[in-house]
A and B are shown apart, each in its own frame.
Chain A
Amino acid sequence: MPYTEATLQLLSTDGTLVESDRTAEYRALVDRLTDDHLRLFYREMVTTRRFDIEAGNLQRQGQLALWIPSLGQEAAQVGSAFATRPQDTIFPSYREHSIARIRGIDPIHIIELLRGVTNGGWNPNDSRFRLYTLVLGTQTLHATGYAMGIQFDGKVGTGDQSADEACIVYFGDGSSSEGDVNEALVFAQSYQTPQVFFLQNNQYAISVPVVRQSRSPLYLRGEGFGIESYQIDGNDVLISYAVTRLAMDEARAGHGPRFIEAQTYRLGAHTTSDDPTKYRESSEEDYWKQRDPIARFEKFLRFRGESDSFFEQVRQEGEELAADIRRKTVELTPPPMDVIFDHVYTDAHPVTAAQKKWLQEYEASFGGQA
């Protein structure tokens, strides 16, 4: 199974904290988290999962062309997202739904992408959560270039962690084979950019198992480029938070890039268009269900004395979110046709202007009878 000697973990599958010299500095960070922090971690994981299930149902009911579930990857995402500071910039792939929510984006905007309403969805300069990127791995280079811009601006390594910036980029085990990811690692290490590469190894690139991408653990890829790299139990929200927190601090301090491989598992399909029963055994899914990130964290919180009413309250919040998304989804309307032409260019452009005018006149020629 994918865990190795190198895998860092704080929270065991039975919900108890693991003591180890290797994780002492991470444990210290987690010990500083308040009950409210821990509740927030739980709340984001649970409500996002409920949203995710609802979106899958909406797709099955014909309301969405496609859905991209993140089931099972909540701990890797939520922990690492809470490790960023507000001034940090996040470059997602396309499955980071909980991180979008943590950055204040109403998940209906993610739904809009899958319902064919927009190719964007939100203003990334407001949220510092960049747009989803569908061509695998391309966003790693954008993150590296952005991080070079942070360096040009002198916003790194000043010693003030509340002002210095870094960015974090998410990608997967499949993407790790793309040339762009490897070029991003070259540039990042060469220019010592303030950024964290966060690889969610969910074990499959659609149907192809990770062993086809790499015969050795993927965190060694980072090391091969000379970048300090870590492998973590990606279903442990506490280690995800703590390792990313320190890596981002190092990046902001001007110590160069860091690479984190989070071992996790895509409990659902790659997207609603594939069928995992064709390429994996149910015994494997059972293995990972035993390691479910939410169940594990819930046990931990119960050991700490969290009340039933809290869990019931979060469950209820998830239901409300799901109902809200369902209502908003069916109320979405198609965008105006001007969206085809507007913003293809920033400056005035004669071709898009002429074609926009032509289409308006063509549509008007039907007198509303088209």
Chain B
Amino acid sequence: MTENLSMAKAINLGLQRAMREDDRVILMGEDIGTLGGVFRVTEGLKNEFGENRVLDTPLAESGIVGTAIGMAMRGYRPVCEIQFDGFVFPAFDQIVSQLAKQTSRHQGTQSFPVVIRIPYGGHIGAVEHHQESPEAYFAHTAGLRVLSPATPSDGYHMIRQAIQSNDPVIFLEPKARYWPKGDVDFDATPAPAHQSRVVRTGTDVTVVGHGAMVAMLLDAAEVAAGEGISLEVIDLRSLSPIDYAPIIASVEKTGRLVVAQEAPGQASVGSEIAATVAEAAYYFLEAPVLRVSGFDTPFPPANLEGTYLPDVDRILDAVDRARGF
């Protein structure tokens, strides 16, 4: 069955299905029960599953993740919601020093299937700490997997895959894509969650991004096509591990790569892709790999977010520079 849904609703249905299929799946977070979450992603789930499976927790992010680790030790599969990207840092130690390292520390005697959902990214005009892209911190950390869906279909299938994973997953939900609708085929067999995907084929320049940036890249490709430039667009989907095979295959064809992201460029996921492609596809590159990123500054006041965030023009500017070599 296929329905036309927003990503927020698609993730909601993915959570619901995961909870119906496995009663050891527990949702926890701030305002996720009675209110259904500030983005309503968990709406209705407390009514269906009760307050022992959908927990309105105390307001303490380290407490949420730390207790989730304890539940995993007991055999549960907790799914934590961090209300906004900038609020994950009080939980940083529990994520990086505890959750990520527990599997290794336990040497195979215990797995830690904990999902941490984080609405992230800009484009919503919000106050400080509500528009950030913290993915590099988690992609840098061994022991974690980092996923970010770009479409309602991936929202539905990837949240289920994240919950089925026996490893900790940081699940980054692009706020800017919560409300646009797209088709979701509930019965489809999804691709493995760690696979990147070519979402538009092209021949001149490869452009890569994740989350909300994918729609921006597709818009840029449309504009470029009007100017006779053919962009191949790749949706990363997984930021750790990164599936390089489609990226390298594409670069072998186009010889040019632009990586776009909302996050600051310094020590970013885009930097890692640039380095890896330079190592793996050096002889195919006709131009340096270029990054289009947020600036290396704090996220600015929302009035300036349109200037701060990479847009179609900044992407096409990089495409032009890549083609200029």
Contacts and interface: CB of A to CB of B under 8 A. Distances in A.
Nearest to A186: B58
Interface stretch (A130-138, A263-271, A279-287): A130-138
Contacts, number: 136
B260 interface: no
Given A142-B66, A346-B113, 10 more contacts: A130-B73, A138-B98, A141-B65, A146-B74, A149-B70, A180-B94, A190-B58, A339-B107, A342-B107, A352-B142
A366 interface: no
Interface residues of A: mostly helix, strand, loop or mixed?
A: helix
Nearest to B74: A149
Contacts of A145: 66-74, 78
B105 A120 contact: yes
B110 A347 contact: no
Interface of A: 118-120, 123-125, 130-131, 133, 135, 138, 140-153, 179-180, 183-184, 186-187, 190, 339, 342-347, 349-352
Contacts of B63: 141, 144, 180, 183-184, 186-187
13 contacts: A130-B73, A135-B93, A138-B94, A141-B70, A149-B71, A149-B74, A179-B90, A180-B66, A184-B66, A345-B143, A346-B112, A346-B113, A349-B167
B167 A345 contact: yes
Leading 7 A-B pairs by shortest Cβ distance: A145-B70, A141-B66, A149-B74, A145-B67, A183-B63, A146-B70, A346-B111
B93 A347 contact: no
A141 B73 contact: no
B103 A144 contact: no
**Size category of the binding interface on chain B:** 35 or more
B66 A347 contact: no
Given A141-B70, A351-B241, A343 B98 contact: no
Contacts of A152: 26, 52, 71, 74, 76
A138 B167 CA distance: 20
Contacts of B107: 118, 120, 339, 342-343
Interface in B95-123: 97-98, 101, 103-113
Nearest to A339: B107
Interface of B: 26, 52, 57-58, 60, 62-63, 65-76, 78, 90, 93-94, 97-98, 101, 103-113, 142-143, 145, 165-167, 194, 241, 243
Contacts of B101: 119
Contacts of B76: 149, 152
Contact of A131 (B106, B113, B167): B106
Contacts of B110: 124-125
Nearest to B75: A149
B70 A153 contact: no
A95 to B, nearest CB: 18
Contacts of A135: 93, 97-98
A142 B69 contact: yes
A345 B241 CA distance: 11
Most chain B beta-carbon contacts within 10 A, residue among A131, A133, A149, A350: A149
Contacts of B69: 141-142, 145
Given A120-B107, A343-B103, A350 B241 contact: yes
A150 B74 contact: yes
Contacts of B145: 345
Contacts of A144: 63, 66-67, 70
